[in-house]
Structure formats: C-alpha cells, structure tokens
Amino acid sequence: MELKSRFLINSLIGIIAGMTVGMIMWMLNSPGDLEDRNFALHIIMSGIHGLIPCGAMTVFEIESWGLTKSTVVHATITLATILAIELPMKWFTWGADFAIAMLIYVVIYVFIWLFNYLYWKRTVNEMNDQLELFLDRQKV
C-alpha cells in the first residue's frame, strides 16, 4: 500500500477514535463544567486531536528514515498537537493538571513505542530465521 493510502487510513482511524474519546470525555465531565463549552467544537477538536497523531504515524513507514528520526518527528507532531489543541480548548490548564497530563503522555508514548519496537524486532528476527532456513534448503 502506498504512503498516501496509509496516511488516509491512519487519519480516518484517528479522527474516529478522537471523536469517540471526545464524546466519552464530554459525558464523564460534571454538568457544571459543560455549561460554558460547545459540544460541536469539542467533538471537532477531539477528532483533529486524534487525526493528526494517527496520520503522523505514517512517518514510521518512510523507509529512508531511521527509527530515531521517525520517533522524534512523530513525538514532536504529537506534542505540538497537544499544545495547540488542549490548552486553547482549556482541557488542561498550565500547572499541575498539565504536568500530570504530560507525564501520562510520556508514559503512554514510551509504552506504545516499546511495544511496537519489540513486536517488529521479533517479526524481523522470525523473517530472518525463515530466510535462513529457506537458503539452507536451497543449498542442499
């Protein structure tokens, strides 16, 4: 599948996930917090909040980029999205709430990155083992 198609699929998944999480978060907030907020704007911004980082996952598909470059670019895009959406939308304020949110972001990002790294490392090792078996059989 070409890069543009992967980007579109990732972005679509992201916007759906973002809007779903946005609706859940809207319902979980106390009624007093919702009076000053616009539901439609909240859902649209939640969708964008999901779209951008998921669409940006496509950088991991760029074969000429290494893992470090892809990770730095994706983490930067994701963090910029958080700063550009969450603070103006007042989902968090500067201070303890935001510090906790950033800590959660880093922990989740590292966990997902590590899970993907270990998965792909195992997949590559299995492929190499299969290739080695194939080549050994060709020699006989």
Per-residue pLDDT reduced to its tens digit, 91-117: 777 888 888 888 988 998 899 889 988
The total number of structural domains that make up the chain: 1
The CA–CA distances, whole Å, from 53 to 29, 62, 76 equal: 24, 16, 10
pLDDT digits (tens, 9 = 90+) for 55-76: 998 998 888 988 889 888 999 9
Per the confidence metrics, is the pTM higher than 0.85? Answer: no
Structural domain boundaries, residue 80? 3-139
Q: CB-side exposure of 90: number of CA atoms within 13 Å?
A: 6
Using 50, 70 and 90 to split pLDDT, how confident is the model at 77?
very high
